[in-house]
Amino acid sequence: MAKHYDLVVIGAGTAAMGVAMRVRAAGKQVAVIDYRPFGGTCALRGCDPKKMLVSGAASVDYARRMATHGVAGDVHLDWPTLMAFKRSFTDPVPEKVEQRYKDKGIDTYHGKARFTGTNVLYVAGESLQATHILIASGAEPVKLGIPGEQHLMDSEGFLALETLPGRIVLVGGGYIAAEFSHIAARAGAKVTILQQGERILKGFDADLVGWLMDSFVALGIDVRTKATVEGVEKSGHGYQVSFSANGNSETMEADLVVHAAGRATDFESLNIVAGGIDEEKGRLKLNEFLQSTSNPVVYAAGDAARMGPPLTPVSSHDAKVVAANILNGNQKTTNYQGVPSVAFTIPPIASVGLTEAKAREKGIKFRMQGQRTPTWFTARQQAEPIYGFKVLVDEATDLILGAHLVGPHVDDVINIFALAIRHGLTAEDLKTTMFAYPTGASDIGYML
C-alpha cells in the first residue's frame, strides 16, 4: 500500500527545501526524495564550493598585484589545503540538511524517484502517493554526443580534485570554463578553453567580456573560440582532444578534460510519461503558476522548471511561488525582473537587465554611459587594471534598463542596480543616494 503525503518533493536543493519547509510549516505531511547527498547543487557541487576555491585564488592574485606596492613575500596556492578548506564547508552539509528535514517532521527517502501514476512515485522499494508533487531535481551536464565523452570530468569532479593536473582542457565557454580556468591557472596549471561560439561568456556584454579577456591573457589561459571538439581519447596517462577550428583539424594533449559546456534538465529516469507530464525539447510544459499544464498535481521549480535564469536566487523565488500556490490555490506568478548574474572570474564580471544589443533590438530609446576606468580609485586601490562599466537608462522614464560591470567589487555593486530595476528606482534616485566612500558602490553616481 502506498504511503500518502500532501506533498512529495523530488530533489533536496534550494528550491526543494524552500517549498518543503513552507508546506510543512502549514501542517501538511511532506516527504523529500534525492538519490544524491542532501543539499543540492549550489551547496555541494556548484556555487558555494566554487566560491571557496575562488577565495583562495583571489587572495593570491591580490597579493601578487600588490607585490610592487608594499606587500612582500612569495604567495602561492596549496591545492590540497585549499580543497580541505572547501570540504570544511561542504562535508557537513548533507547530514545537517537531512537532520533539518527530520527535525521539522519531514520524511526523507534516498534513491531515484520514478512516476508510476499521475500522483504516485516509486522510490527505494516504496510507493508514495501525493496530493501534490514538486519536481526540483536540478540539472545535469548536457550530452555532447562526441566519441570519448565518458572521459570528461564534470564540474562536481573538478571541485573534488585532491591534486590538480598540470594540463587542463575545458570544453565549453560559459561560467564553469571562465571560473575554473581562473582558479586552475592561478594554482599553476596550463589551461586551454575550447569554445564552439565566437566568444566566451556569451550571456554578458561583449565589450566588457573583451576587457576581461586581458586577465585570461595575463594568466596564460589559451582561449580558442570557434573550436568544435570532435572526440577525446585516452592516451597514456592523459588524453588526446581532437577538435576543429577555423577549418583546420587539431589535437591537444591534456591530463584532464573538463565538461564546461553547460547543464540541462534530464527527466528520463523520472518516467514523466507515466506521470502524465508533458514536456517539449527537454523542458516541462508549465503554466504561469509553475504547474504542469497536463497534470495539475505536479509543480516544478528552479533548474527543473527552466522558467527563469539558472541561478540559485531564482530557485529561492520559485520556491516561494510554488509553496504559495500549493497552500492557497494558484494565485502567485513568477517575476524574474532584475535578476543579477555574476561570473566569479578574477576580477568578476556582472550583469543585470538588458544588454545594449537587446535594448536596441527592442527599439528602446536610451542613454548609455560606458567606459573602461582603470584610473578610478576602486581599480588603483586594488592594483587591478581591469575595471569598467556600461549602464543603460530609459530616456523617457529615467529607469535603469541594464547595468554591466567588470572589475573589483562588482559582484556586490551589481545588486544595487538589480534593486533599482526590480523596484523601479530611477537613475536620479541612485545618483542622489549617499553611499559610503570610498567603496565600489560610491562609483555608481559616476556611472549614470
pLDDT in tens, 316-340: 999 999 999 999 999 999 999 999 9
* CATH code linked to domain 149-261: 3.50.50.60
**Phi, psi torsion values for 430, nearest 5 degrees:** -70, -40
pLDDT score, position 186: 96
pLDDT in tens, 365-401: 999 999 999 999 999 999 999 999 999 999 999 999 9
What is the rounded average pLDDT of the residues 140-162?
A: 94
The shares of helix, strand and coil residues in the chain, as percent rounded to the nearest 5, are 35, 25, 40
Euclidean distance between CA atoms 141 and 143, whole angstroms? 6
Euclidean distance between CA atoms 418 and 398, whole angstroms? 15
pLDDT in tens, 68-95: 999 988 899 999 999 999 999 999 999 9
pLDDT score, position 3: 94
Please check whether residue 78 is in contact with residue 192, taking contact to mean a CB–CB distance below 8 angstroms: no
Contacts of 152 (CB under 8 A, 6+ apart): 144, 171, 232, 257, 258, 259
pLDDT score, position 247: 83
DSSP state, residue 196: S
What is the rounded average pLDDT of the residues 285-289?
A: 97
Contacts of 44 (CB under 8 A, 6+ apart): 36, 37, 90, 93, 94
Q: How far is CA 199 from CA 142, 257, 265, 441, in A?
A: 19, 20, 24, 29
Q: E strands along 201-280, which residues?
A: 222-224, 227-235, 238-245, 248-254, 256-259, 263-264, 279-280
pLDDT score, position 440: 96
DSSP state, residue 426: B
pTM for this prediction: 0.95
Give me the chain's average pLDDT, please: 96
Instruction: Compute and round to an integer the Cα radius of gyration of the chain.
Output: 23
Euclidean distance between CA atoms 421 and 401, whole angstroms? 7
Residue 176, pLDDT > 90, answer: yes
Cell numbers 613575500 correspond to 73
Residue 252, pLDDT > 80, answer: yes
Euclidean distance between CA atoms 133 and 128, whole angstroms? 10
What is the rounded average pLDDT of the residues 160-169?
A: 96
What is the percent of the chain with per-residue pLDDT over 70, rounded to a whole number?
Answer: 100
Cis upstream peptide for 347 (omega within 30°): yes
Residue 2, pLDDT > 90, answer: no
Euclidean distance between CA atoms 199 and 188, whole angstroms? 24
Euclidean distance between CA atoms 135 and 8, whole angstroms? 9
The CATH T-level fold of domain 3-139+265-328 is FAD/NAD(P)-binding domain (3.50.50)
Domain 149-261 and domain 347-447 have a common topology? no
What is the rounded average pLDDT of the residues 212-240?
A: 96
Please check whether residue 318 is in contact with residue 302, taking contact to mean a CB–CB distance below 8 angstroms: yes
Residue 205, pLDDT > 90, answer: yes
Q: How confident is the model at residue 1 (pLDDT cuts 50, 70, 90)?
A: confident
Cell numbers 544589443 correspond to 357
Residue 301, pLDDT > 80, answer: yes
pLDDT in tens, 109-139: 999 999 999 999 999 999 999 999 999 999 8
Contacts of 142 (CB under 8 A, 6+ apart): 261, 262, 263, 264
Please check whether residue 198 is in contact with residue 226, taking contact to mean a CB–CB distance below 8 angstroms: yes
pLDDT score, position 280: 92
Rounded to 10 deg, the angle between the 47-65 and 79-90 helix axes is: 140
pLDDT score, position 282: 87
pLDDT score, position 43: 87
Tell me whether residue 51 is exposed, middle or buried, using C-beta atoms within 10 angstroms of its C-beta: 0 to 12, 13 to 18, 19 or more.
Answer: middle
- Bridge-partner residues for 256, per DSSP? 168
Parallel/antiparallel/unpaired status of strands 263-264 and 238-245 = unpaired
Q: How far is CA 303 from CA 8, 18, 256, 415, in A?
A: 18, 14, 27, 22
Euclidean distance between CA atoms 317 and 320, whole angstroms? 5
Q: How far is CA 339 from CA 15, 89, 381, 444, in A?
A: 16, 26, 29, 18
Distance of CA 311 to the CA centre of its chain: 5
Cell numbers 556584454 correspond to 205
Q: How confident is the model at residue 172 (pLDDT cuts 50, 70, 90)?
A: very high
Task: Give me the amino acid identity at 246.
Answer: N
Domain ranges of the chain: 3-139+265-328, 149-261, 347-447
Please check whether residue 5 is in contact with residue 132, taking contact to mean a CB–CB distance below 8 angstroms: no
Please check whether residue 181 is in contact with residue 204, taking contact to mean a CB–CB distance below 8 angstroms: no
pLDDT score, position 246: 84
What is the percent of the chain with per-residue pLDDT over 90, rounded to a whole number?
Answer: 93
CA dihedral (100, 105, 106, 109) in degrees, to 10, reads 90
Cis upstream peptide for 340 (omega within 30°): no
CATH 3.30.390.30 matches 347-447: yes
